Structure 1
Amino acid sequence: MSHSFRLGGDLTIDRLGFGAMRLPQGRPGGPARDPESGRAVLRRAVELGVDHLDTADFYRSQNGSVRANTLIREALAPYPDTLVIATKVGPVFGPDGPGQGTAADLRPQVEANLESLGLDRLDLVYLRIGTMAPPHGESLAERFEVLAGLREEGLIRHLGISNVDAGHLAEARTIAPVAAVQNNFHLAHRDETAVLDACTRAGIAFVPFFPLGGGRADIDDPGLTKVADRHGATVHQIALAWLLALSPVTLAIPGTGSVAHLEENLTARSITLTEEDLADLV
């Protein structure tokens, strides 16, 4: 099993990266985390070989005092040449919570990410649609065309889509190359297998968000515990190893605000699951 992936055909990254959503606050609506702890996690991640960070300008604490992009810039700029930073646009946030933005919202959102990260060009930008489940039957063409235009302008290197079904992927690919798809997917939630299969056939990165359940699902089960015991590993390490074993295009971006938890997650890179293990995880 290869531990690396060529994103968009030209950016070689480790298949186990880091998601920044947990840096500003431990849970949605929870208290803000200590910014220095977040910066320490980011610096340690890069020290341990993480070269793929997933973030968004809207990843921030409830009061806006701690922002993931600001932490990334403060901890890591000037950025290593090998570091790939992915971000996402699409959602808008108002008094009633998150909603779906329009095509007109996308350029300002891309520019906000450029400014907060201190970059002239973004490596990978996902168009995020819907809320928690893919909005089946909804067209993303108008919005994706805006991002394709920003790519032509040189503000974006590669494009991705998030929270989509196979129809959305096919539609987006008629407009511009799709380098990555980011969907809710983990051991206890495998609804997007058709999208994963389409990505595997096309060589497109499939990047599960909430790879460990995101606090919204219990991924533990007897099979997972059995395999973890067999390897002397944690259930979370095995859950990440399972994702990487599914397909050569699968990437994982577990997030945390703890250096110890970060180090535990990254140990999953050294775990190779056997056929017996995979059978226990069906």
Structure 2
Amino acid sequence: MSTSSTPSPSLTAAGVPRAGGAGTLGDRTVSRVGFGVMQLERLRDDPDAAVALLRRARELGVDHVDTAEFYGDGFCNRMIREAFRPEDDVVVVSKVGADPNPGGERPLRPAQRPEQLRASVEANLRSLGLDRIPVVNLRRLDTRPGLQAEGDQIVDVDDQLAVMTALRDEGKIGAIGLSGVLPENLRRALPAGIVCVQNSYNVISREFEDMLRLCRREGIAWMPFFPLGSAFPGWPKVTEVPAVAEAARALGRTPAQIGLAWLLHHAPNILLIPGTADAGHLEANIAAGAVVLDADTMAALDALDAEHS
């Protein structure tokens, strides 16, 4: 979990090809297919399996992981700490803006105030065992579904960026990203030097297409969550769309792999962070980085946006 450079942009520090090829995250070259660790909480009773899954991801060419202190109340961070060594050169991307809420109606509660953001960064540093977190995303509560800010949790983005840039100046974080952000707040944040944006986005849900284009122009990585749709009621799933299923049959792949591959083909600044607690699913997700979509298949998938808008 260091910040040293690797000898070849196509290879990880372990000397294996980067999953999905090479992409850019701030001033770092990383695999275009990363790993989101949220679902590792399902392995709380088997931490050895959680660590083994993370190490398997590294063996398969993944060199950036997405995490948060509020994933499993620190469990996922501790598994990252156990799994990786500095020489692995895995870029850790964490996030702040919510806190665990044990015993509450929801497992998380908003933590948007500047002092809460600072406390969350400190908590991430402790559980990850790092002196500096390479990238920290400010998880805004601008978009649905999920948590919404109320009362004193409605905080101006400029006040939040002030503490994030202070933490960067102090060396506690390396770079700043945004998550769940609206276009106007992204534009306001650009002078702070944003390196990535995490918003809901997939082949059938492209509400933030203009933001993706802005990020591409600005050299900002776009790291979509819900890349295959959402489990929230009423939100469509990519894998259930007939055109996606047809492409999967034609190419001998799974619908999930087609959905992930479309994202990689759609824009060069897209980095994926699919999550799982299953080794087979991990390998399938990483294999999506090698799927080639021809022009006709891309045209059929591109047309889905109009059908679902």
Unaligned runs of 5+ in 2: 1-19, 304-309
**Counterpart selection for 2:76 from 46, 62, 68:** 68
Equivalent in the alignment of 1:128: 139
Unaligned runs of 5+ in 1: 27-31
Query: Between Structure 1 and Structure 2, which shows a larger proportion of helix residues?
Result: 2
Change in CA separation of 1:117 and 1:93 when aligned onto 2, cut-off 3 Å:
closer
Change in CA separation of 1:213 and 1:38 when aligned onto 2, cut-off 3 Å:
farther
Equivalent in the alignment of 1:107: 118
Q: Percent identity at matched positions?
A: 40
Describe the SS at the equivalent of 2:38: coil
1:11 and 2:23 are equivalent in the alignment: no
Letter in 2 for 1:72: I
1:181 and 2:203 are equivalent in the alignment: no
Letter in 1 for 2:124: N
TM (norm. structure 1) is: 0.89
Describe the SS at the equivalent of 2:135: strand
Change in CA separation of 1:195 and 1:138 when aligned onto 2, cut-off 3 Å:
farther
Describe the SS at the equivalent of 1:189: coil
Describe the SS at the equivalent of 2:93: strand
Describe the SS at the equivalent of 1:23: helix
**Counterpart selection for 1:193 from 203, 206, 209:** 209
1:259 and 2:279 are equivalent in the alignment: yes
Describe the SS at the equivalent of 1:272: coil
Q: Distance in 1 between matches of 2:272 and 2:161?
A: 24
1:218 and 2:237 are equivalent in the alignment: yes
Describe the SS at the equivalent of 2:194: coil
How far the C-alpha of 1:194 sits from its partner, in A, is 1.6
1:37 and 2:49 are equivalent in the alignment: yes
How many residue pairs end up in the alignment? 269
Q: Distance in 1 between matches of 2:115 and 2:66?
A: 24
Equivalent in the alignment of 2:268: 248
The farther-off stretch of 127-136 and 10-19 is: 127-136
Change in CA separation of 1:47 and 1:140 when aligned onto 2, cut-off 3 Å:
same
Equivalent in the alignment of 2:292: 272
Q: Is the 8 A contact 1:124 1:157 kept in 2?
A: yes
Change in CA separation of 1:254 and 1:247 when aligned onto 2, cut-off 3 Å:
same
Q: Is the 8 A contact 1:70 1:117 kept in 2?
A: yes
Query: Runs (4+) of structure 1 moved beyond 4 Å?
Result: 134-138
Q: Distance in 1 between matches of 2:155 and 2:71?
A: 25
Change in CA separation of 1:43 and 1:262 when aligned onto 2, cut-off 3 Å:
same
**Counterpart selection for 1:24 from 35, 41, 64:** 41
